[in-house]
Structure 1
Amino acid sequence: MPTSTTTQHPNPVLRTAPAAPTEAAAYFRASLRFHADVADVAAALATTRTPGTPGDPGFVLLDSRSTESWDQGHIPGAVHLPTALIPEQAEALLDKSVPVVTYCWGPGCNGATRAALALAELGYQVKEMLGGFEYWVREGFAYETWQGPERRDADPLSAPVAGPCGC
C-alpha cells in the first residue's frame, strides 16, 4: 500500500496552544484594567449628560493629539493635552485622584499609549480608549469640530445599526 508523502500543515490558530483558563482570565482581567472601549466611554459620558443622573463619569477623557487634529474633530467634554505637553501641563489640568482615559486618532496610532505612559509615570491612574477618535466617529457618536457639533451615521462594519451590540 502506498504511503502519503503530503505534509500536514498545522492549524495556524492553534499552532501555539491557548493559555490555560486561569492564565487567560488573569490576562483578560489585566487588559480591562488598562483599556476602555468607545461604547463604554460614550455610555459613561451620556449618563452624565442625562437630567436626573450624576454629573460626573468618574474619569477625565483626554485627547492627546495636536491642536490641528483637535480642531478637526474631538469628543465633547474631552480635555485637550497633546502628549508632548503632558510633563509640563498635566498637573495644572488634571487631578491625580481622578482616573484619566486617553485617546488619539485610532488603532493605527499609538499616541494614546504614549500619553497614558507619560501620565502613569507622573502618578496618574490611566486607561487607554481602544479605537480612538476614529472609532468614536465610526460608531456614530457626536463630536465637535472648530465649526461646531457633528455626527455621522454608524458604520455597519464597526457598530450595530440598530440595538446594542450585546458585548
Structure 2
Amino acid sequence: MTNALRFPAADPRTAATHFAAELAFEADPDDVHRDLRNGTTAGYVLVETRAPEAFAQARIPGAINLPYRDLPDELDLDPDLVYICYCESFQCNAATKGALALSERGYRVKRLSGGITAWREAGYPIESDEVTGSGVSKVACHC
C-alpha cells in the first residue's frame, strides 16, 4: 500500500462538503489580487490584523488596520460586508485571532491564505507609509 493512500480518500460527496466548507473560511491571494487589479472588491474589505507598526511597514493596498489585540467590543463596520483578515504568514495566527474577534462581534469573515508574506512572494504590490512597490523581503510581525 502507498503512503499517500494509507488513509482512504473520502467519498466524493463528503469531500465536496469538506472542501466547500474550507473555502468558506479562506480567501486566496491570487483571487484577491485579481479583484484589486480589476476593481471588483465590492462585498469585502481586507483587514490587516497585526499591530499598527506592521501596517505602517507594509500592507496590501486598500487594507484597513484592526489589530486583533486592540479590537473594541463595538465596531463601526458594515455588517453586510465580508472582512478578509490577514497577518504575517502561515506561522502567525493574528489573522485567525482577528477573524475570531470579528466573528464574535457578528461580522462575516475569511482569512487570507499565507498572509502578507504569501502576497509579497507572489510579487503583488504592497503599500507602506514609506514606499509603494513589490518584493519578497521579510516584514516584521509585531503581533
Distance (whole Å) between structure 2 residues aligned to residue 128 and residue 63 of structure 1: 10
- Summarize deviations over 1:39-73 as a string: whole Å, max 9, x none: 1111112211xxxxx6x532010000011111221
Matched with 2:139 is none
Distance 1:16 1:87, change over 3 A: farther
Equivalent pair of 2:73/2:105 in contact (CA under 8 Å):
no
Residue identity matched to 1:143: I
Runs of 4+ in 1 over 6 A off after TM superposition: none
Percent identity over the alignment is 37
Calculate the aligned-residue CA RMSD, in Å. Answer: 1.6
Q: Secondary structure at the match of 1:61?
A: strand
2:30 matched to 1:39?
yes
Q: What TM-score, normalized by structure 2, do the two folds share? A: 0.88
Matched with 1:104 is 87
- Summarize deviations over 1:10-59 as a string: whole Å, max 9, x none: 422212111111100000011111111101111112211xxxxx6x5320
Structure 2: runs of 5 or more not aligned:
137-143
Matched with 1:147 is 130
User: Which residues in structure 2 correspond to 1:14-93 (within 5 Å)?
Assistant: 14-48=5-39, 56-88=41-73, 91-92=75-76
Distance (whole Å) between structure 2 residues aligned to residue 59 and residue 33 of structure 1: 13
Distance (whole Å) between structure 2 residues aligned to residue 66 and residue 104 of structure 1: 9
Q: What TM-score, normalized by structure 1, do the two folds share? A: 0.76
- Ranked by relative contact order (alpha carbons within 8 Å, sequence separation 6 or more), the top structure is 2
- Summarize deviations over 1:85-116 as a string: whole Å, max 9, x none: 22346x12x21111110000011111111111
Distance (whole Å) between structure 1 residues aligned to residue 73 and residue 127 of structure 2: 26
Distance (whole Å) between structure 1 residues aligned to residue 59 and residue 3 of structure 2: 39
Distance (whole Å) between structure 2 residues aligned to residue 144 and residue 99 of structure 1: 22
Number of positions where the alignment pairs a residue of Structure 1 with one of Structure 2: 136
Structure 1: runs of 5 or more not aligned:
1-9, 49-53, 154-167
